[in-house]
Amino acid sequence: MSGWDISDIPDQGGRTFIVTGANSGLGAVTARALAGAGAKVIMACRNEVKARPIAAEIGGNAQVRRLDLADLASVREFADSIDSADVLINNAGVMAVPSRRTADGFEMQIGTNHLGHFALTGLLLDKIRDRVVTLSSGAHTLGRIDLEDLNWERRKYQRWSAYGQSKLANLMFARELQRRLTAAGSAKLSVAAHPGYAATDLQSHTESLMDGLMAVANRVVAQSAEMGALPSLYAATAEVKPGGYYGPTGLRGLRGHPGPSGSSAASKDEVTARRLWELSEQLTKVSYSFRR
C-alpha cells in the first residue's frame, strides 16, 4: 500500500464520479486521474470559466456543472440536475479566509467546507451507488466544534481556528455518515481523506501575509498536487475500511503515498458528531433518508 499511485487505480469504465472543486488543484488532478482510468467525471465547480479548459483537456469523459457550496440554492439546483453517480468526492474548500458570510449567512469556512457538503451529500445520497469521500486536513487538530456558536457570531473571528473547525467537522461528518449508513443496513461507504501538505492554489487566498509565507513553504516543504490527490483517489477507488481516514504515510502525514491516517481524539467524539449532524440538518434544512 505504501507505494500506491495513479497507476494502481482499478479500471473505472462505466462508473461516474462527482468531484467538487475540480477546476484547480487537487480536484483537477483527481478529475484527470479518474477520467484517465475510464470514469465519467462531473466537475462540480463554482468557477465554470476555469473548469472548462480542464474539462476540454480531459475530453469526452468530463463535463462541467455549476455548484457554489456557499449558496444552498445552488447546491439544491446542482443536486436536482444529477440522475445518479457511483462516487461523490467532497473536495472543494476554502482556507483561512478573512471573516465573511455565505449567501445563507453562515461563516464562510464552516459554510463552504462543511455545511455546503453536508447539504450536497444529503440531497444526493439516494443517487449515489457506492461511496462518499470527504476531504479533511491535518489542520483538523487545530479545530474545536462550538455547537453554541458554529458560525462565529459571538466569538472573535480567528481564521485558522475557523478553518480547523471546518476540517474537524468534515472528518466527524464522514464518520457519523458511516455510522448511520451501517445502522440502516446500507452497503454504501463513507470515507475521509486528507492530502498532507500539497502545493495548490488553496494557500494563496488567505488575503494576508500568510500567502507569501506559504508560497515559500510550497516550494520547500510541500509535495505536488499530484501526490496530494492520491489519498482521495485511494479512498474513492480502492478497497477501504468503512469510515476510514486516509492520507500520506511519510513525514508525519505531510508527504508520501497513501495509507491509513491517525486523527485527533476530538474527531472520534460520537456524541459531538451526532449533535453536529442534528445542528447541520437544522441549519441547512436538509434531512437525510437512509435506504439499503
The number of beta carbons lying within 10 Å of the beta carbon of residue 45 is: 27
| CB-based contact 25:205 (threshold 8 Å) | no
> Annotated active-site positions, please?
163
Helices 117-124 and 159-183, packing angle to 10 deg: 20
The span from the CA of 20 to the CA of 136, in Å, is: 14
Q: Could you tell me which residues come within 8 angstroms of residue 178 by beta carbon, excluding any fewer than 6 positions away?
A: 189, 190, 191, 242, 243
